[in-house]
A = this chain, B = another copy of it.
Amino acid sequence: MTETKNAFYAQSGGVTAVINASACAVIETARRHPDRIANVYAGRDGIIGALTEDLIDTGREPAAAIAALRHTPSGAFGSCRYKLKGLEQNRAEYERLVEVFKAHDIGYFFYNGGGDSADTCHKVAQLSQQWGFPIQAIHIPKTVDNDLPVTDNCPGFGSVAKYIAVSVREASYDVLAMARTSTKVFVIEVMGRHAGWIAAAGGLAADEDNDIPVVILFPEIPFEQDRFIARVQDCVARYGYCCVVVSEGARTADGRFLAEQGTRDAFGHAQLGGVAPVVANLLKQGLGYKYHWAVADYLQRAARHLASQTDVEQAYALGQAAVELALAGHSAIMPTIVRTSDSPYRWEIGRADLAQVANTEKFMPRDYISADGFGITPACRNYLQPLIRGEDYPPYRDGLPDYVRLQNVPVTKKLANGFELP
């Protein structure tokens, strides 16, 4: 005999264009099983909502609002950058989570995030068991950085990749048209501090019909100034212009980030952030070219208007699978994307043990980066291409995407004691 329990869902870390599609799937799938899942409570601002007993009753949202999550970027319930410490350092946090889950009869814990949240999810599954209140904890992958192991790719990445590939293509058309008398080099800075997956997507801008000279600076390849300048000079000589895609994590062999060049403002304060202007200045000093630079920053990960259809479908499928796996009795696992064919692209849902996932980062394989370190290989293209495929436009009203804002009605608190965040 199976019991009816409540489910807890939380979003963790940087939000994406499609994390709400996973939330949509969790809630819609749970609603199809009222005999097993009575309510889905979401954490307000992620796991902080669980620690402070600040839960959102998703049952108060009409079906249309939940459906609209599928086309709404960002985290509808709020997310946070809050990593639970290790058990030795802060046992109180885990105890508090279990206390809140007990009070609200939570039997399912769905945690939607990256590597850190996979670790938290894993610990909750283990500890709740030990402490006599078993919770089925399922992790739903999400990260624009695409750096989770086991799964072929991570929801959120495909849409960022599409945004960067499209933006580089569009900017390249612009620069080409003007290069004779104006800008010759365009530099765009992209996310991905540790892994170059997003930077690699810039390489997709060029294909057999679009002979676009793209030079990529990966975090995986130590930056060598002279080689870089020579490469850009060569592109300008051959094509008349050059597009540079630089990862925010680009660094020299001694590990120093290019973004931290010791630039100072007029008051002597360190100038924070922005590797694009640093690279543009290097080129200006080295070659004298007129340049322009862009920093896409949050625009790239929030750009639901240009989401990849593959990405949206996978984000939804993983949320749905998480609930179905929980209902089938699983815990301490993460549903994954398994690629079964490159061409035609085919994928299915698999699963990974959270012990394999937690705290492991997946970097770009060296054979995805061209020998000279400035481009992507055909193997990389085969990997990336299906992930940006298909368009999944949101509805528009008066020229703007019609994104939903939920009411986010709080669940009545049941615990007398609060919880002080450290």
Residues of chain A whose beta carbon lies under 8 Å from any beta carbon of chain B: 11, 14-15, 45, 48, 72-76, 78-82, 162, 165-167, 169-171, 173-178, 180-183, 186, 188, 204-205, 207, 209-210, 261-266, 269, 271-274, 276-278, 280-281, 284-285, 292-299, 301-306, 308, 385, 388-391, 393, 396, 398-401, 403, 405
Contacts and interface: CB of A to CB of B under 8 A. Distances in A.
Q: Most B CB atoms within 10 A — which of A178, A186, A210, A391? A: A178
Contacts of A186: 297-298
A313 to B, nearest CB: 13
Contact of A293 (B205, B292, B295): B295
A398 B166 CA distance: 11
Given A174-B74, A177-B74, A272 B284 contact: yes
22 contacts: A74-B170, A74-B174, A76-B177, A79-B177, A81-B181, A82-B181, A165-B400, A173-B302, A188-B299, A205-B400, A261-B266, A262-B265, A263-B264, A263-B271, A264-B265, A265-B278, A269-B281, A274-B293, A292-B297, A292-B298, A294-B297, A306-B306
B48 A181 contact: yes
Contacts of A304: 170
Given A281-B269, A393-B393, A398-B389, A294 B299 contact: yes
A60 to B, nearest CB: 18
A166 B175 CA distance: 23
B277 A266 contact: no
Contacts of A266: 261-264
Given A298-B171, A302-B171, A180 B293 contact: no
A264 B401 CA distance: 40
Contacts of A272: 277, 280-281, 284
Contacts of A173: 72-74, 302, 403
A170 B399 CA distance: 14
Contacts of A299: 167, 170-171, 188, 294, 296, 299
A222 to B, nearest CB: 19
A281 B271 contact: yes
Given A170-B299, A177-B15, A399 B393 contact: no
Q: Most B CB atoms within 10 A — which of A79, A170, A186? A: A170
Nearest to A72: B173
Contacts of A390: 399
Contact of A298 (B174, B262, B274, B399): B174
Nearest to A396: B391
A269 B207 CA distance: 38
The 8 closest A-B pairs by CB, nearest first: A74-B173, A388-B399, A294-B297, A170-B302, A75-B177, A389-B399, A174-B302, A262-B266
A174 B144 CA distance: 13
A160 to B, nearest CB: 12
A209 to B, nearest CB: 7
